[in-house]
Amino acid sequence: MRETDLYPAIKAFLEAQGFEVKSEICSCDVVGVRENEEPVIIELKTGFTLPLVLQGVDRLGVSDKVYLAFGIDARKSGGAGNSLWRRHRKPILKMLRRLGLGLISVRLDGVHEGFVEVHLDPKTYVPRKNRKRAGRLLREFGQRIGDPNQGGITRRTIITAYRQDGLRCLYYLSKSGPAKLADIRQATGVERAGGILQSNHYGWFERVERGVYQITPKGVEALDEFAEALATIDLESKS
């Protein structure tokens, strides 16, 4: 597949809508003009790639109506040219919507040869903040003790504020033995201790009797596993 293979289908698609179409105008792959409207610019690539996005962003300095166009060949199910689009369709559309870019695909598979599909039209994006997510972020930031993680880590457990509270309860029970929930909450300062012990998300706790908890063998292992995280927490007071 070559970029020039996309051009006939794109040209015919625009001409059917009343555009006069020319190629390679001032570094733009395709330009469509209709009456007194703003020109439509389309950049071509055989597959969806970062260079295609960068070209589109650059063309926004010329027109607000910029589309990215790429080819799809269904006969090459493992082809690198289309793999990014197949794997990440939703986030790609979300990113382009934020950038104000449109997206077009052209089928070049011998069955639906030259079929043009518009996935997204370019329009000015006005972001709406997700107040719920923002509130969750700030709560986690405020409740987390210290900075126990390293930015960019992978394949390691993230020490969240919830896990820190669980570790506080775990440490207390490792020293006290079975204890009442009220005593655990008062000693650790963890207000949500009841929810943590009852849900037992990590498998660290078990109920001995009503309102009384102790740690499990898995909890004992966690004391060693998270010894470094425990060392960063003031286990005597949460203030």
Which residues have a Cβ under 8 Å from the Cβ of 84 and sit 6 or more positions away?
Answer: 47, 48, 49, 92
Phi then psi for residue 71, to 5 deg, are -95, 150
- The reported pLDDT for the residue numbered 162 is 95
Q: What is the radius of gyration, based on Cα positions, of the chain?
A: 29
Q: Where do the domains of the chain lie, and which CATH numbers do they carry?
A: 3-120 (3.40.50), 145-231 (1.10.10.10)
Q: Is the dihedral of CA 56, 57, 61, 64 positive or negative?
A: positive
Q: Give the chain's length.
A: 239
Tens-level pLDDT at each residue, the chain (239 residues): 688 889 999 999 999 999 999 999 998 999 999 998 999 999 999 889 999 999 999 999 999 999 999 988 766 654 444 678 888 999 999 999 999 999 999 987 766 667 899 999 998 877 677 889 889 888 899 988 888 888 877 778 899 999 999 999 999 999 999 999 999 999 999 999 999 999 999 999 999 999 999 999 999 999 999 999 998 887 654 44
- The reported pLDDT for the residue numbered 239 is 40
- The reported pLDDT for the residue numbered 83 is 76
Angle, CA 168 vertex, CA 166 and CA 170 arms, to 5°: 70
Q: Residues 64, 122: contact at Cβ < 8 Å?
A: yes
| E-strand stretches of the chain | 20-25, 28-33, 40-45, 65-72, 102-107, 115-120, 179-180, 205-209, 212-215
Mapping DSSP onto H, E and C, the string for 104-172 reads EEEECCCCCCCEEEEEECCCCCCCCCCHHHHHHHHHHHHHCCCCCCCCCCCCCCCCCHHHHHHHHHHHH
